[in-house]
Structure 1
Amino acid sequence: MQTKTSLFLLTGLSLTMLTHAQNRATKAPPRPNASQPAVVAKLPEFSLTRTEIEVHTRFLASDELQGRRTGDPGNLAAARYIAEQFRLLGLKPAGDNGDYLQRIPFERVVAATSASMIIGGDKVELGKDLAVMAGGPADVSGDVVYVGYGLTDGEDGYKGRDVKGRILIAQGGSPEAKGPGEIFRASRQKRKLATEKGAAALIELYSESIPWGFVNQYFSREQITLPSGGSSAMAHLWLNNANNQFKHLKEPGMSLMLQTSGRPRIPAPSANVAGIIEGTDAKLKDEYVVLSAHFDHVGVGKQGGNAYPPSDSIFNGARDNAFGTVAILAASKALSQQRPKRSVLVLALTGEEVGLLGSSYYAEHPLVPLKQTIFDLNTDGAGYNDTTVVSVIGLERTGARAEIEAGAKAAGLGVFAEPAPEQGLFDRSDNVSFAAKGIPAPTFSAGFKAFNEEIGKYYHQAIDNPESLDFNYVQKFCQAYAHAARLIANRTTRPQWSAGDKYEAAGKALYGR
């Protein structure tokens, strides 16, 4: 692995390269779509060159950044590169201490080495039917208390129960949880509440849609997590209840014995990167459009989670998500050269690949008021298999379809709405952290209509390198994204959730309308 010093030297070298590319870009003639009106063709986004797009991509997806895994030196170097690009473009620092970084004290959670549970005469071992999610070493026994889903103080929860020092049994997931992200978020909420109640341990009866084999594999590796907030001592485990074999633990008078090595936690700091382009309209500049993309990837070797050849163990993440990070850098340049009416917060997020953690942290610690944040145009994706379109997850739900379609058309691209609906993609990227707070937040992705072999060939694979990209398409994509962002920031009215959307109520609560 490269040292921090050599990574930052490389950052400086790439900045020099980019400055030359930008100097050339100012002299290069626009390359608009032939059908554009002349006034649109003269906007700065259509002077973005292939060269500057390629320079950004080749640095962010370089071997020297070692897969940009959250908490590793390559991730920190990527954050610094993005911050210095914001400085170069004149964005106002929006991070901590007057700079561009929103620092997050993540923790690296080491895998448990042992765990066992005795229920009656049966012994359950780590791996086969038991997974340790969190907590320190524990050796506890006694009667259990069933708390339903363990998410509330209501009837199906803790109401009327003193659980201090007790072993709690909770149903896995939540009534609404469908995908992995929702299941894990519910689990974290349960752990937080059980810790506040003083419980000795929390055991979830797991019977969700993700096969137990995948669960076991996931918890057999280290994870990156948000700060524990004092909840790290309580043992938290998942018990495989796929065949309802442990349903009797819900009954009164049941007891068990639990031993676990726990999961040690080690500091693994990272940062979101944030800069502001101030709007030009006296009233609308107090409203913000967020442009977001995650810049982290999955790292090197076994960290990547997939097979790799001996000759190349680095998961460079050119498509996922250097591609999107370059789009927000390109939009930053275009919108800073000719500012829109509303203010724009450009937000490069860390920790997406380890559970949408950077965006979750931002949602709880916003750098501009959420109530004044009217839209998040997130960009992320697994790759592309159609270079004639952009694909937008949430296009039909988030109220800015006309602007997104016009942005794509101006760059010579079409729009494909809601690709691969069976994948539940809306709730699998950073946009959902904004949506859950009520902010309309689609994801603007590279062109694909289905997850096929062309997508799978590169998605989270070691061959996802810059050399495999079609940079003519990346250039058009960046122009389309920047122009759509401009149109949304210039709207006379705020985008609104579609009537009946699952996040509409959160939007009404946030905005009071």
Structure 2
Amino acid sequence: MRSFINAAVLTGCVLTSSLAIAQKPKKATPKTPALPEFQLKTEDPGVHVRFLAADEMLGRRTGEITNNVAARYIAEQYRRLGLKPAGTQADYLQAVALERVASDNKGLLVYGSDSLKVKQHFILLSGEKTTFAHTPVVFAAYGTEADYQGLDVKGKIVVAQFGTAEAKNPQEGFDLSEKKVKWAADKGAAALIEVLPPQLPWQIVVRYFAGDRVRVASEKSEKPAMPHLWIGGTASKGFNRDHVKEISGETPGQEKVPVRSFNVAAVLEGTDPALKNEYVVLSAHFDHVGTGKNGGGNFTAADSIFNGTRDNAFGTAAVLEAAKTLSLVKPKRSVLFLNFTGEEMGLLGSKYYAENPLVPMKSCIFNLNSDGAGYNDTTLVTVIGLERTGAKAEIEAAAKAFGLRVNEDPAPEQGLFDRSDNVSFAAKGVPAPTITPGFNKFDDKIYKYYHQVSDNPDTISYDYLLKFCQTYAYAARLIANLPARPQWSKGDKYEPAAQELYK
């Protein structure tokens, strides 16, 4: 039938339709914001991830050459952008004083008719080889500063429970150990023994803490360092004041070798004459756990490389892309970009930086750290400390701009706030959340890749990585342009440190 349609009718219809189209008002085309984070492309952060998490990088383990290669790669990205080294540094690399410590595993402790063997019952965390001959033992509850009230421990061995009565997870106990050593040493103790709770799997503790370890280098002293021991496993159950009155024997010795490692630091100066004296800190760690048995997980001869794509090439890419976009259109406040070594070995790089800052800590008004175990929800970004650190509105606005939502810590039992580099700033008083790829629980989707050899660069969504990086950069911009600095929530455990820092 179409071939017999009257030509005049057809022509009329076309003309009428054309007039209708011509008369129809045009809709205004929405304008994409001119800010450069809106112009990022998928391949931009992908370049960083594919390099840092490549097999050739062998897991970027702190103390190994590929960790330093990663640091140099990051430094050269900052140089290419024209950023300045932080503080009085001539280069972007901040040397971090670390040392590799290996125990000789020779030692035996005796109390009454019982004995403790190295690794089987106890391990040495720090200190010199020391001999005890019927040395008295003093029990000091949890070994906190308050627990020494009324106790004479000079020349005696202090025994304390691991952690504190209020500690909610093992990480709090690990974090407190160094302070306990100082408190015991200041009181003149001959040694500190911490008794680990039976529920802490002793073999895992031994694997992580009794072998070769990298730590912040100990200061040289004229007198030998006091031994710090952990007792665990079956020995912890009977090691109490009823059975232990004095100890004889010898602790293991340690060999220490300096380790060459670096943080990376760069500065972008802000545009506001007054606010540029304040800094927003953008941080992420770039190290991972290495290869083979060092990785701590399952591996095979075919694949023994723990690539660390999600943890934390992902977060490192976010910081690098933020550096690029913020340098194109500068915010009001200055920005300090920090990339840390040694996070996987106990937040070593950020702890070192916090004690040796390149920019005065009191000038740093906020730290937006990026780290994570992976993701199971690409509609989200997850922010650990969202409700505590005073920039919730800005982070939510940034996520919304790229079609994402924000959720607060979905696994508070994990103690995640105190398990990443942000806590090194929080402990000094700086509001410091961690933004992580979106997750709503720790499930098989997380554990499939978290610290596994399967965490290769080809297993992530680069479209989601792009949105994550855009959100991170835009949130940083919004925070850096705020008229007033963010504040800790009232009553937060880190609020007193902030009051001291910013007074």
Task: Calculate the TM-score normalised by the size of structure 2.
Answer: 0.89
Instruction: Work out whether 1:263 is the aligned partner of 2:254.
Output: yes
Matched letter for residue 213 of structure 1: Q
Q: Percent identity?
A: 55
Distance 2:66 2:166 in 1: 37
Distance 2:88 2:271 in 1: 25
Change (3 A) 1:105 1:210: same
| Cα shift at 1:71 | 1.2
Matched letter for residue 209 of structure 2: F
2:270 aligned to which of 256, 279, 285: 279
Instruction: Work out whether 1:372 is the aligned partner of 2:372.
Output: no
Change (3 A) 1:485 1:323: same
SS of residue matched to 2:344: coil
SS of residue matched to 1:54: helix
Matches within 5 A, 1:130-209: 130-141=122-133, 142-152=135-145, 154=146, 156-157=147-148, 161=152, 163=154, 165-207=155-197
Change (3 A) 1:96 1:268: farther
| Cα shift at 1:261 | 2.4
Change (3 A) 1:249 1:266: farther
- Paired residues, number: 472
Instruction: Work out whether 1:58 is the aligned partner of 2:25.
Output: no
1:343-379 Cα offsets, whole Å, 9 max, x none, are 1000001111001111111111111111111110000
| Cα shift at 1:305 | 0.4
Matches within 5 A, 1:5-404: 38=31, 41-94=33-86, 97-141=89-133, 142-152=135-145, 154=146, 156-157=147-148, 161=152, 163=154, 165-207=155-197, 210-230=200-220, 233-240=225-232, 244-248=237-241, 254-404=245-395
| Cα shift at 1:128 | 3.0
Matched letter for residue 122 of structure 2: L
Distance 1:466 1:352 in 2: 20
Matched letter for residue 94 of structure 2: Q
| Cα shift at 1:211 | 3.0
Change (3 A) 1:382 1:185: same
Distance 2:40 2:158 in 1: 57
User: Is contact 1:118–1:124 with CA below 8 Å preserved after alignment?
Assistant: yes
RMSD: 2.2
Distance 1:442 1:359 in 2: 14
**Once structures 1 and 2 are overlaid, which stretch shifts more, 204-213 or 315-324?**
204-213
Change (3 A) 1:208 1:92: farther
Change (3 A) 1:36 1:511: farther
Distance 1:221 1:286 in 2: 45
SS of residue matched to 1:186: helix
User: Is contact 1:150–1:158 with CA below 8 Å preserved after alignment?
Assistant: no
For 1:488, the equivalent position in structure 2 comes to 479
SS of residue matched to 2:302: coil
User: Is contact 2:103–2:252 with CA below 8 Å preserved after alignment?
Assistant: no
SS of residue matched to 1:353: helix
1:269-319 Cα offsets, whole Å, 9 max, x none, are 211100011111111111110001000000111110011121111111010
Q: Which runs of 5+ in 2 are unaligned?
A: 1-27
| Cα shift at 1:221 | 2.4
SS of residue matched to 1:385: coil
Misfit runs of 4+, over 4 Å: 241-244
| Cα shift at 1:230 | 3.4
Distance 1:280 1:208 in 2: 56
SS of residue matched to 1:42: coil
1:502 aligned to which of 493, 499, 503: 493
**Once structures 1 and 2 are overlaid, which stretch shifts more, 445-454 or 123-132?**
123-132
1:177-223 Cα offsets, whole Å, 9 max, x none, are 43333212221122234345554322122227633333223223222
Between structure 1 and structure 2, the one with the greater Rg is 2
Distance 2:306 2:126 in 1: 27
1:215-234 Cα offsets, whole Å, 9 max, x none, are 22322322211111137743
Distance 2:55 2:338 in 1: 24
For 1:437, the equivalent position in structure 2 comes to 428
